[in-house]
A and B are shown apart, each in its own frame.
Chain A
């Protein structure tokens, strides 16, 4: 009952906002140059989605995001686990890591364009730098918080170093890493879009930049909505993946399931 009520209020709220926006635009109170009518935006989204060439842009942004995400998280997990296991190296590298992490990643975009050209890889590189640190810090923390008793026990049972990695460190760090994977998806998208926005010939970021160049606010808003949907869908997929991967963790309120 409660859930239904919440849902109804949410729908009412959305209708109120969009409705007053729409009315405001048609009555001329809101300037449609800056805030295009919601119906126009929806129409733009529909016409894009219906157009086969639109999927080329989605495909490019998606591949940049996925590549940046996979490479960034892969490097982040590897480096995080490594430094988590070798506190000495971590201490030596600490100031460097802090310094690099302090650089606003967006300013690196022009350098990547210079190095890697206007194609796919400059965007991937930007996404990688954004994703890397989120995963890196989480993986390192995960490895450091491994229960020492569990570790001693596994060593006494005869685990080699690679056994320990596989059976203790990675699973222990997995929940930390997975939670960082959720956050870093957003970063991967940001990296890809900003890269496209600054210089590209295709992709969702390019679409938004092009619309902006034509003073086409409808296109900009439509692009934003498409992007939001894009991230929501990826997030949903990760949700499923997380549930599959971490079956051993007690769910909230779980007592003794069969």
Chain B
């Protein structure tokens, strides 16, 4: 398993064309430059974690991939096609509640398929299957306010993944959850991803999460004019158990190495405030 996983990430980083390519991207808001000259490649089936101090412009990178924001310089491409405008070959897991509060769990999960013009019967079968997959069988007709935080995240996962996106983007997806729910959801996510591996770009400020989930961890410098300073491959076996992997000596070594690189940036970001 681990060998296969390593092979995939090794191959994707070298020969195969990347699923997501970020070429020399600069993101700016007026005269404020959030990130500058970022180069990142994500292979098909690779899980990339991006860590960086708060306010370093991590989210703008994701929004550039999603097509929600236009880079001031450089270009992003997904599967060889340049991103211009909002993409719908991606799934986006937001940090905040992004469910439509006036739709039930079922209707929320259904949205992506409905917008793609999938017939009602086929939709129904898929939605029910996905709700069961994320452990929400029987909760179809609940509105978001009738679900717990963890359950809402599950609905969001099903909603984002049901369209079988080429790339999954995650913006601190579990930071609003309590620690136990967070571990549960991280394991759940890994299980779903393991079943059908896609390219993932996850942004977080939690280094443990970044290592526990990712195949590779990229460290961003403190903003403004943030850039990628280093990139660490994570050679931990899959499938992983998020709450136990932290005791793995390899995990601790990685944590120490990456933290050594991240620490200076975190201190800088505090000093500049």
Residues of A at under 8 Å CB distance from B?
149-150, 152-160, 163, 167-168, 171-172, 174, 246-250, 254, 256-257
**Residue picked from B87, B98, B111, B160, most chain A C-beta under 10 Å:** B98
B100: contacting residue among A160, A167, A246, A247, CB under 8 A: A167
B-chain residues with CB within 8 Å of residue A153 when the two chains form the complex:
92, 94, 98-99, 159
A-chain residues with CB within 8 Å of residue B160 when the two chains form the complex:
157
Interface residue total, chain B, C-beta cutoff 8 A: 28
Residues of B at under 8 Å CB distance from A?
66, 68, 86-88, 90-92, 94, 96-104, 111-112, 115-116, 143, 145-146, 159-160, 163
B145 in contact with A152 (CB, 8 Å): no
When C-beta atoms are compared, the residue in chain B nearest to A163 turns out to be B115
Min CB–CB distance A168 → chain B (angstroms): 7
A158 in contact with B103 (CB, 8 Å): no
Min CB–CB distance A160 → chain B (angstroms): 7
The 6 closest A-B pairs by CB, nearest first: A153-B98, A158-B115, A158-B88, A248-B102, A157-B112, A171-B102
A248: contacting residue among B90, B97, B103, CB under 8 A: B103
In the complex with contacts A149-B98, A248-B101, A157-B159 CB distance below 8 A: yes
CA distance A159 to B88 in the complex (A): 9
A-chain residues with CB within 8 Å of residue B101 when the two chains form the complex:
150, 248-249
Q: Told that A153-B99, A157-B112, A158-B88 touch, could you supply 20 new A-B pairs with CB distance under 8 A?
A: A149-B96, A152-B68, A152-B92, A152-B94, A152-B98, A153-B92, A153-B159, A156-B86, A156-B87, A157-B115, A157-B163, A159-B111, A159-B115, A167-B111, A168-B100, A171-B102, A172-B102, A248-B101, A249-B101, A249-B145
23 inter-chain pairs at a CB distance below 8 angstroms, sorted by A residue, are: A150-B98, A152-B68, A152-B94, A152-B98, A154-B100, A156-B66, A156-B90, A157-B112, A157-B115, A157-B163, A158-B115, A158-B163, A159-B115, A160-B115, A167-B100, A168-B100, A248-B101, A248-B102, A248-B103, A248-B104, A248-B143, A248-B145, A257-B146
B-chain residues with CB within 8 Å of residue A248 when the two chains form the complex:
101-104, 143, 145
When C-beta atoms are compared, the residue in chain A nearest to B95 turns out to be A149
In the complex with contacts A157-B88, A157-B159, A257-B146, A150-B99 CB distance below 8 A: yes
CA distance A250 to B142 in the complex (A): 11
A-chain residues with CB within 8 Å of residue B96 when the two chains form the complex:
149
A-chain residues with CB within 8 Å of residue B146 when the two chains form the complex:
250, 256-257
CA distance A14 to B101 in the complex (A): 44
**Residue picked from A153, A163, A172, A174, most chain B C-beta under 10 Å:** A153
A-chain residues with CB within 8 Å of residue B88 when the two chains form the complex:
156-158
B94 in contact with A149 (CB, 8 Å): yes
B-chain residues with CB within 8 Å of residue A159 when the two chains form the complex:
111, 115
CA distance A155 to B101 in the complex (A): 16
A-chain residues with CB within 8 Å of residue B91 when the two chains form the complex:
156
CA distance A204 to B96 in the complex (A): 53
A-chain residues with CB within 8 Å of residue B92 when the two chains form the complex:
152-153, 156
